[in-house]
Amino acid sequence: MEQFNAILQGVLVGGLYALFAAGLSLIFGVMRLVNISHGDLIVAAAYLSWSVVQVTGLHPLLCVIIAVPVAAGFGYIVQRGILNRTLGKDILPPLLVTFGLSVIIQNGLLQSFSADSRKLDAGWLETKSFELLPGVAVGLFPVMIFAAAVATIWALQHMFYKTKLGRAFRATSDDSEIAQLMGLDNRKVYAQAMAICFAVVALAGVFFAIRANFDPFMGPGRLIFGFEAVIIGGLGNLWGTLAGGVILGVAQAIGAQLDPGWQVLAGHVAFIIVLALRPRGLFPRTSE
Amino acid sequence: MSTKVSRSNASSRIAGIAACCIAAVLVAAPWWGSIATERLIGEFMVYLALATLWNLLAGYTGLVSVGQQAFVGIGAYTLISLALLAGWNPIFAVPIAGLVAAIIAIPIGKLVFRLQGAYFAIGTWVIAEAIRLFVAQITMLGGGSGISLPTDIMKMVGETKFWREATIYWLALALGLGALALVYSLLRSKLGLALTAIRDNELASESLGVRIERIKFTVYVLVAGMTGMVGSLIELQKVRMSPDAGFSVNDWTAFVIFIVVIGGIGTIEGPIIGTLLYFVLREFLADLGSIYLMILGTLAIVVMLFAPKGIWGFVKDKFGITLFPTSYHVKLGDD
């Protein structure tokens, strides 16, 4: 029963990893950009929500209302101001520029907030749990994170395939030059995609800040978890990303059961196994 | 009027002579410099070697790895294992560290080569992280808290402090200048021609018969081996090692990338200029701590956006200077 409990916790944590990954997946899909500072942005969003709570005294979950639009606006500006200049055939400029951003964000956070770890306190939300089956209890908050992940993936999927904006994203992704001929402004489309990515990042950041302690240097770890979820699930498949997050969470939970030092390592091992056996991921888009 | 095809020009011939003089002065450093000077130049050589190797990988084959710290750590820990557990003289362990890193790079390469472009970058990083966490589990090698080389093992390097410091210094010099010499001679060879072709146009070179994947893989393994040797040197310099220090993405990859980008990627001179600038900046700004790192990151972004060829690329375009000629020029004149 203890094992089952651990695996269940792993599944729920997988929802958080899927939230880390969703923005990464969207951005790669639309503009083939891999943002190395993605994890640092999640941590920055955690600090943003922490600051909002400090200043306004809002409930941590309510500060989503402020953090998400602020982050989205910031994403739009970053894309238009910096990242659009890096896009082209060469993969080096976007990688290096986002790598530079990563170092700047980490040290900027260190400078402003010190190296002390912080946490958002959501009070009773964090401690409340209910019995799913006899002997199997799940926390309310992990279930909320998972539900938020499912809702986010559904919303992104819907946006991508059912809306005008999504059509613009897909057109630009398929052939950016033709899309431009048809009257789309690529720079604007990319900025819109980045705004959505940042909105998801902010959501992930708030949940992350409530769930555990965070410090300025936790970004790269979050990037790697998100990246692993994307690759395990299969490129370009958002529901696959959710599955990838869940597999990663479960692998880490099983690893932690064997030895606490194996938790993160077990996730990496799962990633390596998938890469070795199914290099296109478990649920690649084209096989649908 | 006759034509002559030549690689060298006036600036490169002067540079060649100057390089020999500088090398001679550097070799003699234990006799004219203090131990602090030796250590500073030794550290310079570490970054020069890492930057030159990363430049070969990313600048010429387009393999943007963010996981080279894996091979630094593997090299360092191979040396520790051989010295501590097998009682080897650490100096003899250095080439073996390179060999081990190269051998481990083969399966790693097979895995990460399945990922394209930017995903390749993060894939290499994940593998490095996995190895770091794995090494932290080995209690015989100090686990997560790290391990030091005891004095009696360090004495095998040199009986007195003077010879110990001098030996480690010469090793650093050999690896730093050796990496430069390796890349220089590699680029002038047939393989170098293929590498330059890949750098300039992958599709065209493939259609002309360049076996891209195989060449890229060879370079990846070669660079990993050399990086492993540098890692074992770092262990000798630091004496103490922990998984966090040996597999540090900031120390052994992020700074190295900044050095190469600011200096000029895809040129031999770029990493030299970048390393010099990095050490000068560090000398003046390191007291600023995190602000210094933010300045470095900003500088790298600005260079990438506005002068993507880096400082050397700018100089080369403007003045036509090459210090390490790898390409041919046609000269017109009477001979």
Per-residue pLDDT of chain B (335 residues; tens, 9 = 90+): 567 777 777 777 888 888 888 888 888 888 998 989 999 999 999 999 999 999 999 988 889 999 999 999 999 999 999 999 888 999 999 999 999 999 999 999 999 998 887 889 889 999 999 999 999 999 889 888 899 988 888 888 888 889 999 999 999 999 999 999 999 989 888 888 888 887 777 788 888 777 888 889 999 999 999 999 999 999 999 999 999 999 999 889 999 999 999 999 988 999 999 999 999 998 888 888 889 889 999 999 999 998 888 999 888 887 777 777 776 666 666 55
Condensed to tens digits (0 to 9), the pLDDT of residues A84-140 reads 998 887 888 898 899 999 999 999 999 999 989 998 888 888 888 888 777 788 889
Candidate from B62, B127, B300 with C-beta closest to A100: B300
Residue A287's pLDDT band, with cuts at 50, 70 and 90, is: very low
Nearest in space to B55 (alpha carbons), one of A94, A96, A135: A96
pTM: 0.91
Per the CB < 8 A criterion, the answer to whether B8 and B324 are in contact is no
Nearest in space to A204 (alpha carbons), one of A68, A1, A110, A33: A68
Q: How many CB atoms lie within 10 A of CB B24?
A: 9
CA distance B32 to B35: 10
pLDDT of residue A208: 95
pLDDT of residue A288: 38
Angle at A202 between CA A201 and CA A204, to 5 degrees: 65
Candidate from A99, A220, A265 with C-beta closest to B134: A265
* Contact call for B297 and A107, based on CB within 8 A: yes
Interchain CB contact of A261 with B (< 8 Å): yes
Could you give the dihedral angle defined by the CA atoms of residues B190, B192, B196 and B199, in that order, rounded to the nearest 10 degrees? 120
CA distance A69 to A65: 7
* Contact call for B129 and A97, based on CB within 8 A: no
Nearest in space to B114 (alpha carbons), one of A26, A278, A243: A278
Q: Locate A73 and state its tokens.
A: 């606006």
pLDDT of residue B280: 93
Chain B residues near residue A96 by CB distance under 8 angstroms = 257, 261, 300-301, 304
Our CA-based measurement puts residue B40 at a distance from the nearest CA of chain A, in whole angstroms, of 25
* Contact call for A107 and B249, based on CB within 8 A: no
The crossing angle, in degrees rounded to 10, of helices B90-112 and B212-238 is: 140
CA distance A207 to A211: 6
A-B Cβ pairs (cutoff 8 Å, strict): 124
Long-range contacts (CB closer than 8 Å, 24 or more residues apart) made by B82-87: B83/B149, B83/B153, B83/B156, B84/B141, B84/B147, B84/B149, B84/B150, B84/B153, B85/B140
Interchain CB contact of B201 with A (< 8 Å): no
End-to-end Cα separation, chain B, in angstroms: 8
b/e B226-256 (16+ beta carbons within 10 angstroms → b): bbbbbbbbbbbbeeebbbebbbbbebbbbbb
CA distance B15 to B113: 38
Residue percentage of chain B with pLDDT more than 90: 52
Chain A residues near residue B290 by CB distance under 8 angstroms = 107-108, 110-111
Condensed to tens digits (0 to 9), the pLDDT of residues A190-216 reads 999 999 999 999 999 999 999 989 999
Interchain CB contact of A202 with B (< 8 Å): no
Residue A111: CB partners within 8 Å, gap ≥ 6?
Answer: B290, B291, B294
Nearest in space to B227 (alpha carbons), one of B168, B165, B175: B175
Candidate from B111, B249, B301 with C-beta closest to A97: B301
> Which DSSP symbol is given to A203?
H
Residue A100: CB partners within 8 Å, gap ≥ 6?
Answer: B258, B297, B298, B300, B301, B304
Beta strands in A83-139 (DSSP E): 129-133, 136-139
Interchain CB contact of A273 with B (< 8 Å): no
pLDDT of residue B330: 65
Chain A residues near residue B265 by CB distance under 8 angstroms = 92
Our CA-based measurement puts residue B181 at a distance from the nearest CA of chain A, in whole angstroms, of 25
Per the CB < 8 A criterion, the answer to whether A19 and A149 are in contact is yes
Chain B residues near residue A114 by CB distance under 8 angstroms = none
CA distance A16 to A11: 10
Name beta bridge partners: B273.
none
Per the CB < 8 A criterion, the answer to whether B105 and B224 are in contact is yes
How far is the CA of B107 from the CAs of A89, B81, B110, B129, in angstroms?
29, 21, 5, 16
Interchain CB contact of A82 with B (< 8 Å): yes
Per DSSP, the three-state class of B4 is strand
Interchain CB contact of A212 with B (< 8 Å): no
Find residues 163-192 of chain B whose CB sits inside 8 Å of chain A.
none
CA distance A43 to A202: 9
CA distance B63 to B70: 15
Substitution target from B294, B299, B302 for chain A, most A beta carbons within 10 A: B294
Our CA-based measurement puts residue A129 at a distance from the nearest CA of chain B, in whole angstroms, of 33
CA A240 to chain centroid, in Å, comes to 14
Residues in chain A: 288
* pLDDT at residue A234 greater than cutoff 50: yes
φ/ψ of B63, rounded to 5, equals -90, 95
